[in-house]
Structure 1
Amino acid sequence: MQTIRIKAPSSDTGSGSGGPPIRHEDALPLLAGTAVTVGAVGLVLALTDIESPLRAPFTLFFLLAAPSAAIAAALRGLEPWGRILASVSGAVAVNLLVAQAMLALHVWSVRGGIAAITVIGSLIHLLVLVRRLRRRTPTRRTS
């Protein structure tokens, strides 16, 4: 019987394909871009009423990610895990409040709900941006 010898791995820390190593700092923008793309596809699929097996999961991702990202941007002072938990909980609360308000007013529609969540998430982002710009504006002092 013959034994097969396996070479010991080399000392490089690459990904195994001979390319440069992948760092976590490089993966974060890629992950964020992928999340934005999936959310945008979910928004388009839901608003245009295109029949696709990806419509439900991508739309659900958008409905959770859009308000969650806006709330997370507003909660920059918290630690990462606390911010994630608070922003996801806030996103679920926003979705439930929109659905409850639309049902109580007898104006429920899928497109209307998605549009309302989009507007609310955009307003939260806009308020965060305005608040940050106000902090950066230098105050004029007259002496």
Structure 2
Amino acid sequence: MPVFAGAAVAVGAVGLFLGLIDLDSPLRAPFVLFFLITAPAAATATALRRMEPWGRAVASCAAAAAIDLLVAQTMLALHMWSIRGGIAAVAAISLLIALLALVRRPPHGRPAQDLRRRAS
């Protein structure tokens, strides 16, 4: 399983790179699409780690679609649409969600429920 996760991160990183430098390659479209789907999904899955696995998968896929659509809609409404800008905005939002989820993590990897039980 870690091999697949590493491969997914590598493909997403290549998609981000190809999209930002606007390299004319036949691999650009599928790799950028993979990045645009998996980056927000992985970030929200990190934030929803207390959910059951199937529920977390469904919720993170729905959140990824919502993030992509909201970025596109906002950029179109503001007349600021660009491919690079959209990719950068999705990357920034995904990074922000992932960082907020990691900052909220309790010390020593304990779930927050266990810390509340010990405190009472």
Calculate the TM-score normalised by the size of structure 2.
0.88
- Matched length: 109
- SS of the aligned residue for 2:104 comes to helix
Q: Cα RMSD over matched residues?
A: 1.3
CA offset digits 1:57-102 (Å, max 9, x no partner): 1000000100000000011111111111110110000000000000
Identity of aligned residues (%): 63
**Bigger proportion of residues as helix:** 2
Separation in 2 of the partners of 1:44 and 1:76?
Answer: 28
Q: Does 1:62 align with 2:35?
A: yes
Equivalence for 1:93: 66
Pairing 1:1-143 to 2, within 5 Å after superposition: 28-132=1-105, 135-136=106-107
User: What amino acid does structure 2 have at the position aligned with 1:86?
Assistant: A
Separation in 2 of the partners of 1:57 and 1:82?
Answer: 26
Computing the radius of gyration from Cα coordinates, the structure with the larger value is 1
Separation in 1 of the partners of 2:51 and 2:99?
Answer: 20
Q: Structure 1: give runs of 5+ residues left out of the alignment.
A: 1-27, 139-143
Q: Structure 2: give runs of 5+ residues left out of the alignment.
A: 109-114, 116-120
Q: Point out 4+ residue stretches in structure 1 off by more than 2 angstroms.
A: none
